[in-house]
Amino acid sequence: MPEFPYSRLRRWPDVEADNLQAHDATDLLLVDRALGVGVPGPEIAVIGDDYGAITLALTAAGLDGIRVHQDLASGRRALRRNADELGLSGFHSHELDAELLSGARLVLLQLPKSLAELEEIADAVARGAAPDVVLVAGGRVKHMTLAQNEVLGRRFTQVQPQRAERKSRLIVASEPRPVPADPPFPVTAPHDGLTLVAHGGAFAGARLDIGTRVLLEVLGLGGSQLLENGVSRGENGSKRPENDGSSGVVNGDRPSRVLDLGCGTGALAVSYALAHPEAQVIATDRSAAAVASARATAAANGVAERVVVTHDDAASEIPDGSVDVVLLNPPFHLGTSVHTGAATRLFQAAARVLRSGGELFTVYNSSLGYRAELARLIGQTEQVKRTPKFTVTRSIRSAEPVDS
Ligand SMILES: C[S@@+](CC[C@H](N)C(=O)[O-])C[C@H]1O[C@@H](n2cnc3c(N)ncnc32)[C@H](O)[C@@H]1O
């Protein structure tokens, strides 16, 4: 059989760089393992296949009917693009649900970043796959912890770490334990006027992130202010302009359109919708776990009808110049490596979707110093709050930003 052309795979639309590849040694170990055990394609499920390397290598090897779940919208697009490029088809994409797992006897998993995400996946496999399922989970040795074995051990009787190869390691989990009546996720937590609901893979779980809290305060949406139409003031006490959407109405006639870009559990979008019943609020995230969490958060706070939640990469489906206000708490980690390209992509997305004169509110770790980049990509940028850890800025979309 010819070698699978891994190097032809691309990460697009995800960040691409010379030191970032669309496959890793763990993918290769998982593929070798699957080819070695001889389970037919329709009984194989793949979870966490970043850019499609596992699914496509197995499909190319003649295993038809593989089911795959990818959390990220960008990963789903990369898989489709890579499949088209290589002329491969015959696999099926699913959410993390019964359709993905029913009857599966081999589940291949790229270990997720968080233990909570692993717990939700391990539970789903033990709950929904065939009774004799074998879960083969793999990762880079430097990112693996004993806690991952413990999490797997809560749902599987046998958990056997394998010898490391090429700096990656597989863990083989089998003999699922009986599962409790209710799955462990989503979890729910109340926060002074806001209930957050989180699936395992959502940023900060059901906690309110401190950066998010600082941004909510600046917007006049913190704590008991959630149910009032707060008008925020900058450090210099200046009132925000009339048409910034703080009343939920722009120019006295149409509802303001507000976008929570990278919404996670939806804390910003739902807080905004609670305080501004007139506003049209959209929440978007590239993570399916985040999208499911934000929808559940909107429902838990009674605003499901007023918050549209979309699974999309960098707001690609939102028309140019169509949004009045963007709220953004950007990521600064890309997978497990620190890489600011992920935040830059969202600044560029904000620049694209904002109308001229529209506002971007961003919170970030003060050490990151994004202000110059925001000014360059969006327009005039002022610091509206700084705590020892976080900075909140307000950028006004200029008609002609320097660089977009
Ligand atoms: C720091 S978290 C903030 C979550 C939420 N807004 C909050 O304040 O709690 C950043 C979020 O951005 C999302 N994200 C990262 N890159 C993205 C992209 N290219 N498109 C859409 N969402 C993205 C992540 O999945 C994550 O949920």
- 117, 144, 176 - which closes a domain: 176
Find the CATH number of the domain harbouring 59. 3.40.50.150
In a domain, 181, yes or no: no
Q: What is the pLDDT of residues 73-130, one digit of tens each?
A: 999 999 999 999 999 999 999 999 999 999 999 999 999 999 999 999 999 999 999 9
- Span from the CA of 31 to the centroid of ligand 1 (angstroms): 30
- Span from the CA of 145 to the centroid of ligand 1 (angstroms): 25
Q: Sheet with 92-93: list strands edge to edge.
A: 92-93, 67-69, 44-47, 106-110, 134-140, 168-176, 156-161
Quick one: 232 and 83 in the same domain? no
The finding on whether 262 has its CB within 6 A of some atom of ligand 1 is yes
Residue 333 pLDDT more than 70?
Answer: no
Bigger pLDDT: 63 or 225?
A: 63
- Span from the CA of 66 to the centroid of ligand 1 (angstroms): 29
Q: What is the pLDDT of residues 376-404, one digit of tens each?
A: 999 999 999 999 999 999 999 999 755 54
Quick one: 258 and 328 in the same domain? yes
The pLDDT, as a whole number, for residue 246 is 57
The finding on whether 204 has its CB within 6 A of some atom of ligand 1 is yes
The finding on whether 263 has its CB within 6 A of some atom of ligand 1 is yes
Number of domains within the chain: 2
Q: What residue type is assigned to position 361 of the chain?
A: F
What letter does residue 345 receive in the DSSP assignment? H
- 176, 196, 219 - which closes a domain: 176
Quick one: 203 and 150 in the same domain? no
The finding on whether 348 has its CB within 6 A of some atom of ligand 1 is no
The finding on whether 51 has its CB within 6 A of some atom of ligand 1 is no
In this prediction, residues 182-186 reach a mean pLDDT of 98
Ligand 1 atom with minimal separation from the 345 CA: 19
40 conformational bin, left if phi > 0, alpha if psi -120 to 50, beta if neither: beta
Residue 229 pLDDT more than 70?
Answer: no
Dihedral pair phi/psi, residue 360, rounded to 5° = -115, 125
Please tell me the pTM assigned to this model: 0.92
Range of the domain at 270: 187-396
Q: What is the pLDDT of residues 25-53, one digit of tens each?
A: 999 999 999 999 999 999 999 999 999 99
- Of the listed ranges 60-69, 295-304, 332-341, 351-360, the one predicted with least confidence: 332-341
